[in-house]
Structure 1
Amino acid sequence: MTSDETRLQNIEQTLAHQDQHIQDLSDMVNQQWQEIDRLKKSLSRTEARLGNLETPEEESGDITHEVPPHY
């Protein structure tokens, strides 16, 4: 092999490795976005439940926030 052929082969190998790294990073970013979306949905549900506990609807008959009669 000549010097140019060796150099070209090294460049092609480097490019192939970089392509694989880019694909791996892309897969990781995709997984992270899916996890972020899952966590956002979970947080939204948790906030809604917390909001319901803080401001119960009078129609539901929930008396958890009333002062006990002995006070």
Structure 2
Amino acid sequence: MTTSDDIQAARIARLEEHAAHQAKTIEELSDQLAEQWRVVDQLRTKLDRLTERFLTLEEGSLEAPAITRPPHY
């Protein structure tokens, strides 16, 4: 015969197991989020360097010639 103490103990065990799974999931999500932020920071740094390089190249490029009518017109 199952007593109410046994039922409560089983219920508590299930709740503890559920809490442990949630804690593990939260830790895994936290690790993934930290890794994604590292990637975002790397990409942001790379984008800043590429933007700076592009602007430097643009400044050093020759001016585009004025649009004029070809001499044969």
Structure 1 residue 66: Cα displacement = 5.7
Unpaired stretches in structure 1, ≥5 consecutive residues: 57-63
Rounded to whole Å, the distance in 1 between the matches of 2:25 and 2:17 is: 12
Unpaired stretches in structure 2, ≥5 consecutive residues: 65-73
**Moved runs in structure 1, 4+ residues, more than 3 A?**
none
Aligned-residue Cα RMSD (Å) equals: 2.0
Match of 1:39 among 28, 43, 47: 43
Q: TM-score, normalised by structure 1?
A: 0.79
Q: TM-score, normalised by structure 2?
A: 0.76
- Max Rg structure: 2
Aligned residue for 1:48, secondary structure, equals helix
Q: Indicate the structure whose relative CO is greater, using CA pairs within 8 Å and at least 6 residues apart.
A: 1
Aligned residues: 62
Q: Percent identity, aligned pairs only?
A: 32
Q: Equivalent residue for 2:28?
A: 24
